[in-house]
Amino acid sequence: MHFSIPDTQELKDNHGGTYVGYNIHINGAYHCTVRYRQLHSFNEQLKREYGSTHLPHFPPKKLLPLSPPQLEERRILLEKYIQTLTQDPDIGDCNIFKGFLLSAQQETQNAVQEDIDLDVYMMNWHKVTVRVNTTDSTDTVLLEIAKEINLPEELVCYFCLYLVKKVEADIKMERRLQNFEAPFLSQKAADSSHCIVIRKSYWEPSYDEDILSNKIALNLLYVQAVSDVEQGWVITNKQTKRQLATLQSKGSKQEYLQLVRTLRHYGYIQFEPCVCNYPEPNTRVVISIGGKEINFRIPASNNQVKEGSFRITRIRCWRIITSNANNQEENSSPHLLELSFEYLLSKDKLQWITVKSDQAVLMSVCLQGMVEELLSKRNGIKFKKQPEQGIRRCSWSYMKRDGSSYEISVSRSSSSEGIVDNEEDYSRRLNKSRDHVRKEKFSSYSVKPSGRTSSGSLSPESLMENDVFEGIGDDDL
């Protein structure tokens, strides 16, 4: 996850007074605005659950009003706090953490709880309409979709929801929706060209075999494959296109998938054209990610395309850099995003490759997902473990901006204030070894003058280290 607090805003309370709101961005998108005392209350509840020794330093209260430099210092410290906090997988998955973010999103948008019809699309743009609450979390909505299309609950974990931007026939992947957000609210915060789609949630093609025997799951894979071929995300030639078109016209879904799964870039996500520094500065490139690699396609003369691949087993680490500096490029994002990864080009040569793209965070999330799958397979862990049967109840409180609080009861099948937990029993997770798959430490870094050392380099905490790089051998070189 990429967490940042890039800026603040001055807000008014009900009595005409002013206070500072901290704008939390997650995975490159604005999520919510919270006050310092809300984060302080959140930290106190985590301390009761985990103990203060397991939590990062939280910036202390001040008796006097803060000066502008002190406010900026607090913003930086709060950003560092939440980034460090999310490096612990148990805390990042716990009900308090996810519930706080979901509740904060609801409060920020002044969301009223009511049942609504939410449209979710398959990749052939067939619409599935489900009856949900405006504040239902992503996992809850996904379960409702599964019920509507008769997808068995044990197969739900193989799929996820994405927020995408659709302009005519073109689609742009914005981000994968997480369980600390409500899909209805996230879509509402985006413009009208955005919609919610269901796609498979994994990268390893062999996982297809786990679900192809179910006709509903097979159809979801099939319509995604057709869409990816039509979008040009899957590499085909004229003959193969004709074969696929024939199979599609016959409705031969199994045979279509058998063929398309043999093609290059099957299951990849293709990103918008962007700029990178490889093989030379300001190179225009089209990037696709999947199949244990980052693929670069660079337009060349005579309508030719130069192509190169960066295997994730040779990426030592990567980082996301967010700059609030003025971006002079036309039609650019207000926040300049860069994904940089250190790549083993040869046995004794590591080089930083930098990509400038407003989809840089999604690229990083894709890398992390592939790394985690590789580590899981290496440790003999199945794709995903299903939640235990039964219901676990717990409660905590959410402090609103005005200082009032309400209690939230959490269970697997019911919720209060829209918070739903779909995770395994927390006490069981605490007893599990944290060494099965070490979740990589990752924190984002908002670039400011104070964020660089005297030599101009980034601080080490901005790096996400790649455990699968450690297994590289002579054969990989």
Q: Using alpha carbons only, how large is the chain's radius of gyration in Å? A: 23
Whether the bond between 334 and the residue before it is cis, its omega within 30 degrees of 0, is no
The model's confidence at residue 448, banded by pLDDT at 50, 70 and 90, is: very low
pLDDT digits (tens, 9 = 90+) for 69-83: 999 999 999 999 999
Check whether 440 has a pLDDT greater than 70.
no
pLDDT of residue 472: 54
Tokens describing residue 371: 């790394």
Check whether 470 has a pLDDT greater than 80.
no
pLDDT digits (tens, 9 = 90+) for 323-376: 654 444 444 445 578 999 999 998 889 999 999 999 999 999 999 999 999 998
CA separation for the pair 199, 167 (Å, rounded): 19
CA separation for the pair 11, 400 (Å, rounded): 14
CA separation for the pair 464, 242 (Å, rounded): 43
Check whether 265 has a pLDDT greater than 90.
yes
First to last CA, the chain: 31
Check whether 260 has a pLDDT greater than 60.
yes
pLDDT of residue 143: 97
Q: CA nearest 443: which of 323, 356, 354, 322?
A: 322
How buried is 61 (Cβ within 10 angstroms: 0-12 exposed, 13-18 middle, 19+ buried)? exposed
CA dihedral (262, 264, 266, 267) positive or negative: positive
Looking only at the bridges linking them, the beta strands covering 115-121 and 127-133 are: antiparallel
Residue 257 contacts residue 212 (beta carbons within 8 Å)? yes
The model's confidence at residue 447, banded by pLDDT at 50, 70 and 90, is: very low
The more confident residue out of 16 and 414 is: 16
The more confident residue out of 462 and 6 is: 6
Check whether 390 has a pLDDT greater than 60.
no
The model's confidence at residue 444, banded by pLDDT at 50, 70 and 90, is: very low
Amino acid at residue number 429:
R
Find the mean pLDDT for residues 400-420. 61
- pLDDT-above-90 percentage for the chain: 61
Residue 161 contacts residue 176 (beta carbons within 8 Å)? yes
pTM of the model: 0.83
Check whether 109 has a pLDDT greater than 80.
yes
Find the mean pLDDT for residues 6-17. 89
Judged by average pLDDT, the poorest of 17-21, 105-109, 319-323 is: 319-323
Check whether 419 has a pLDDT greater than 50.
no
| Backbone φ and ψ of 184, nearest 5° | -60, -45
pLDDT of residue 408: 78
Check whether 113 has a pLDDT greater than 50.
yes
pLDDT of residue 62: 87
Find the mean pLDDT for residues 424-440. 35
pLDDT of residue 388: 41
Check whether 379 has a pLDDT greater than 70.
yes
CA dihedral (471, 341, 201, 295) positive or negative: negative
CA separation for the pair 100, 104 (Å, rounded): 6
pLDDT of residue 445: 32
The model's confidence at residue 192, banded by pLDDT at 50, 70 and 90, is: confident
* Residue recorded with tokens 């996400």: 464
pLDDT digits (tens, 9 = 90+) for 24-57: 998 888 999 999 999 999 999 999 888 888 899 9
pLDDT of residue 387: 43
Find the mean pLDDT for residues 244-250. 96
Cα dist. 375→1, 48, 132, 381, 387 in Å? 18, 32, 36, 9, 21
The more confident residue out of 326 and 267 is: 267
pLDDT of residue 459: 36
The more confident residue out of 477 and 196 is: 196
Amino acid at residue number 103:
S
What are the start-end ranges of the H helices in 232-329?
Answer: 238-250, 253-260
Q: Please, which residues have CB within 8 angstroms of residue 366's CB and are 6 or more apart in sequence?
A: 203, 269, 289, 290
Q: Please, which residues have CB within 8 angstroms of residue 367's CB and are 6 or more apart in sequence?
A: 289, 294, 312, 315, 318, 341
CA separation for the pair 8, 182 (Å, rounded): 23
Check whether 446 has a pLDDT greater than 60.
no
- The DSSP 8-state label assigned to residue 111 in this structure reads P
Check whether 474 has a pLDDT greater than 80.
no
pLDDT of residue 249: 96
The model's confidence at residue 453, banded by pLDDT at 50, 70 and 90, is: very low
Element (H, E) at 35: none
CA separation for the pair 198, 94 (Å, rounded): 24
Amino acid at residue number 323:
S
Buried b (16+ CB within 10 A) or exposed e, 220-256: bbbbbbbbbbeeebbbbeeebeebbeebbeeeebeeb
Find the mean pLDDT for residues 144-170. 94
Judged by average pLDDT, the poorest of 175-184, 274-283, 391-400, 455-464 is: 455-464
Total count of residues recorded for the chain: 477
CA separation for the pair 95, 107 (Å, rounded): 18
| Domains of the chain listed by start with CATH number | 3-108 (3.30.1520.10), 115-260 (3.10.20.90), 269-383+439-476 (2.30.29.30)
Q: Please, which residues have CB within 8 angstroms of residue 125's CB and are 6 or more apart in sequence?
A: none
CA separation for the pair 362, 79 (Å, rounded): 20
Element (H, E) at 225: helix 215-231
Q: CA nearest 388: which of 200, 210, 154?
A: 154
Strand partners, 4: 25
Q: CA nearest 263: which of 294, 239, 296?
A: 239
Check whether 115 has a pLDDT greater than 80.
yes
Cα dist. 223→197, 215, 216, 219, 260 in Å? 12, 12, 11, 6, 12
